[in-house]
Amino acid sequence: MSLLVVGSVAFDSVETPFDKIEKALGGSATFCSIAASYFSDDVKMIGVVGDDFGEQNIQMLKNHKVDISGLEIVEGEKTFSYGCVYRDDMNVRDTLFTDLNVFEKFDPVIPDAMKEIPYLLLGNIMPALQLKVLDQMTNLKFTVCDTMNLWINITREDLLKVMKRVNVLVINDSEAKMLAEENSLIKAAKKVMEMGPEYLIIKKGEHGALLFGEGKIFSAPAYPLETVFDPTGAGDSFAGGFTGFLINEKEINFETMKKAVIYGSTLASFCVEKFSTQGIEKLEKVKIENRFNEFIKFSKVD
């Protein structure tokens, strides 16, 4: 099945307690597309970069059979760049710089050939842009949307409009509480569900993820890693793995989503083991399946 991914493409400069890297490939559309490519041979990516993006990055995406015909390359402009430092507690990071560059004028125009794609993954971009994408799609059956605290703070009304038009909203625990204005995570989830999405996934970092929908709750563990090397892109890898798995299912419901959450967590666990996209670039399906089965084993009770 075809999947359309719309989001940011960026260069990340990241420092962790273990090491640092500069101008590494990043962005929500990038991580989502690569993760989804392990489940679908027809992932199409919409984004914008400058002419500094480089043939090596283009080739890596092509190697994953990601269709980048919708990736706009703007001559004379620079690619969106982001820099941060993670503290010893890898759940906390300090932003060093955010240079929007070409991304500041990002105007997602969906090619006619892609408007009928039934499955859509909206990466973490401004809700007004997510709405513009939704308005252009003509045959949507299933949409997953990611967002962040910035948009909750400054573009709440647009975000609420998006939430009424998507099937699944993906946010982390602090964002859920912020959006619902509620300290209890379970109460917050209930309030967020009332805002529109059919299903809600709340990411809890090293503590796993919660799935809400159909009046049910599913709690998934995180993979027990000795070392988290770089958390950047973990949430996007989760969303890509989650959505990529689901689009091949005959029926999308709470039960298939439970399995999809584990696959999403599996991709995220590979992502955090290395800088940038390195952790998910050269995976084999058997390695993904083995870790998925380990996830099941860790949480199964006879």
C-alpha to C-alpha distances, 277 to 2, 28, 40, 131, 232, nearest whole angstrom: 22, 11, 18, 28, 9
In a domain, 76, yes or no: yes
Give domain status of residue 214, yes or no.
yes
* pLDDT value, residue 206: 80
In a domain, 166, yes or no: yes
- Kindly state whether residue 95 falls inside one of the protein's structural domains: yes
Residue 87, domain member (yes or no): yes
Distance CA 144, CA 236 (A): 11
Query: pTM to 2 decimals?
Result: 0.96
Q: Is residue 302 part of a domain?
A: no
Spatial distance between the Cα atoms of 301 and 294, rounded to a whole number of angstroms: 13
Q: Look over the chain and give the mean of its residue pLDDT values, rounded to a whole number.
A: 95
Domain membership of residue 15 (yes or no) is yes
Q: Which domain holds residue 274?
A: 3-295
For residue 255, the tally of other CB atoms under 10 A from its CB is: 13
User: Which ranges in 169-212 belong to alpha helices (H)?
Assistant: 173-180, 185-194
CATH (domain of 235): 3.40.1190.20
Domain annotation covers residue 301: no
Q: What integer pLDDT is reported at residue 207 of this predicted model?
A: 86
**What pLDDT is attached to residue 18?**
87
Residue 145: the pLDDT is: 98
**Dist CA 151 CA 175 (whole Å):** 10
Q: What is the pLDDT of residue 92?
A: 79
What tens-digit pLDDT sequence spans the chain (302 residues)? 899 999 999 999 999 988 999 999 999 999 999 999 999 999 999 999 999 999 999 999 999 999 999 999 999 999 999 999 998 877 778 999 999 999 999 999 999 999 999 999 999 999 999 999 999 999 999 999 999 999 999 999 999 999 999 999 999 999 999 999 999 999 999 999 999 999 999 999 888 999 999 999 999 988 888 888 899 999 999 999 999 999 999 999 999 999 999 999 999 999 999 999 999 999 999 999 999 999 988 887 77
pLDDT for residue 226: 85
- The phi and psi torsions of 44 (rounded to 5 degrees) equal -115, 130
Three-state secondary-structure class, residue 195 = coil
Residue 284 amino acid letter: E
Check residue 227 and give its pLDDT: 83
User: Per the structure, how many domains does the chain have?
Assistant: 1
